[in-house]
Amino acid sequence: MSVAIIGGGAVGLLFSYYFTKNVADTVVYVRRKEQAELLNRSGLKLYQEGTLREVKVLAKVLKEEGDIKADLVIVAVKQYDLRNLSEVLRNRVPRTAKLLFIQNGMSHIPFLETLPQGCIYVGIVDHGALKIAEHKVEHTGKGLMKLAAFRGNLEAVTPMLENLDQTRFPIEFKDDWYPLLAEKLLVNAVINPLTALYHVENGTLIENDYFLENMKNLFEEAFEALGLDDKAKRWEDVVSICRQTARNRSSMLRDIEMGQSTEIDAISGYLLQRSVSANLRMPYTRFVYNGIKGMSS
């Protein structure tokens, strides 16, 4: 079996480490030549709880290569970089390849619908991962990858994932892709923009009564727009994630502080699009969307 991983960010490197360790024929595709050269020359280093682990990887520059002949192609770029991959996935990846998409939010769904491949999967990861250098990633919090079939069936991909390290990189399979992505989106739609706007760690949102009220109002809007079930459970999830990651800085906060693109379009932007067709007013979501867009422009 052969695996291709597209993306040299924190999640791409994390996947590259665990797949290379367990699947001989793994290739990492990155955008920039410098990163590919560094990975090929120095290997990929993973830090976890003070321990350094290393693996030799094969990295290639995406735009310099021809066809990507892999059985499983894992797309681990940010949602806003997906559009650049349209031509690659359409023309350079076989229709028989299984595609697995690891993006936050849900605005990539319409894009997936346009692809020719017969087996498409979506996944989310709640691992903590921090890219330290172009060939170094820190696995800051052990989590879980959850995945579900978007097109085709799960049975076609499960054998490909059986060889992975189930202790350090466990996988859970879900029957239905919509709640999988929507529940993660709901959490992100509440925690990410607020922590970025207020420049606070995740835990501060629930420790501060004023922030908590805004959080609850944002949650209500997102919950309604997504049409999910069991509101009490969903709210508990949001609060407990804030508690479990209390001293973490959300990825959106880090993006804002570093002047980088954020995932706000895939998260709050997607909800606002849904609100138009559902004829919902979402003033809180609108406010944070505009705030984050403004702060990062």
Sole window of 31-39, 42-50, 266-274, 278-286 interacting with a copy of itself (rule: CB under 8 A): 278-286
Number of CB atoms found within 10 A of residue 145's CB:
22
Does position 297 interact with a copy of itself (CB under 8 A)? The reply is yes
Q: Is 21 a catalytic residue?
A: no
Q: Which of residues 175 and 209 has its CB atom nearest to a copy of itself in the complex?
A: 209
Q: Tell me which of 21, 45, 146, 184 is the catalytic residue.
A: 184
Note whether 262 and 197 are within 8 A (CB).
no
Q: Which residues contact 15 (CB under 8 A, 6 or more apart)?
A: 5, 74, 76, 102
Residue 115: alpha-carbon gap to chain centroid: 19
From residue 200 to residue 239, what is the string marking binding to a copy of itself with x (rule CB under 8 A)?
Answer: --------xxxx-xx--x----------------------
Phi, psi (rounded to 5 degrees) for 45? -110, 130
Indicate whether 197 belongs to the interface with a copy of itself (CB under 8 A).
Answer: yes
Cα→Cα distances 227→179, 220, 221, 266, 279, Å: 9, 11, 10, 17, 13
If one asks whether residue 198 binds a copy of itself (CB under 8 A), the answer comes out as yes
CA distance 290 to 143: 31
CB of 217 to a copy of itself, least distance (A): 7
CB of 84 to a copy of itself, least distance (A): 24
Question: In this complex, which beta carbon is closest to a copy of itself, that of residue 17 or of residue 289?
Answer: 289
By C-alpha distance, which of 248, 65, 103, 244 is closest to 180?
A: 103
290 near a copy of itself, rule: CB under 8 A: yes
Residues that bind a copy of itself (CB under 8 A): 197-198, 208-211, 213-214, 217, 283-284, 286-291, 293-295, 297
Catalytic residue annotation: 184
